[in-house]
Amino acid sequence: MAHQYFEDNTMLSHQCQEWETVVNETGYRFKTDSGVFSRQRLDFGTRVLLETVIQAEFHPKKILDLGCGYGPVGTVMGTEYPEATLHMVDVSERAMELARYNVSANQVAHAKIYSSNIYQEVKAKDFDLILTNPPIRAGKEVVHTFISGAYLHLAMGGRLVLVIQKKQGAPSARKKLLEVFGNVEELERKKGYWILCAQKNES
């Protein structure tokens, strides 16, 4: 059976490569490998997510990169907000190894990178910002767990921001965000990708 990027792909053969990209006028260099999501380039959805969040100027003090992969979201956010506490989690050991390399190579010194099946090992419940490009191929139930679990791990006033394509469940995710948080805002819509944001408020 073929491996999926949201699984632990430690035993796959290696196909390492490095490439460069620019986000918000800052250059980055990333190392990737087989078995990780979008290993040949920064995928468009993640780029839109990052650019939208940076433009929104949330100024978070504590960030969770949920399902960090090889680390593009955490690396960029750690660069944009160097004073913030940064947590990055994934289920794939290979992805986390790459993420550790990439945050170091891009001089992000304060990231805490550790294994967690969604929120299972995430103990902190005071994040100002949780960012995710959820693994759509893992199924709707998993994506909705990404959403529902966020509420318990956010500080009051904290935000969950995710990217999802319309054709891959954006309307359903929007409905779930509204159900869990009581609010949802569409920050951006570009080429079929929706950037959705929900804020934890006093009930």
pLDDT > 80? residue 116? yes
pLDDT at 138: 73
Model confidence pLDDT, tens digit, residues 43-66: 899 999 999 999 999 999 999 999
* Inter-helix orientation angle 140-153/170-181, to 10°: 30
Model confidence pLDDT, tens digit, residues 24-33: 999 999 998 8
pLDDT > 70? residue 176? yes
Model confidence pLDDT, tens digit, residues 136-173: 777 889 999 999 999 999 999 999 999 999 998 899 99
Q: What percent of the chain has pLDDT over 70?
A: 92
Angstrom distance (rounded) from CA 186 to CA 128: 18
**Alpha-carbon 51 to chain mean position:** 13
User: Which of 149, 145, 144 minimizes the C-alpha distance to 171?
Assistant: 144
Q: What is the mean pLDDT of residues 93-113?
A: 94
Q: How many other CB atoms are found less than 10 A from the CB of residue 181?
A: 21
* Inter-helix orientation angle 72-80/44-56, to 10°: 20
Please state which CATH class domain 43-200 belongs to. Answer: alpha beta
Angstrom distance (rounded) from CA 127 to CA 110: 15
User: Which of 162, 172, 165 minimizes the C-alpha distance to 132?
Assistant: 162
User: Which of 147, 203, 199, 154 minimizes the C-alpha distance to 170?
Assistant: 147
pLDDT > 60? residue 110? yes
What is the residue whose two structure tokens read 């006033």? 157
Residue 21 burial by CB count (10 A; 0-12/13-18/19+): exposed, middle or buried?
Answer: middle
Provide the pLDDT confidence category of residue 34 given band limits of 50, 70 and 90.
confident
pLDDT > 80? residue 11? no
Q: What percent of the chain has pLDDT over 90?
A: 77
Looking at every residue in the chain, the average pLDDT score rounds to 91
Specify the pTM.
0.91
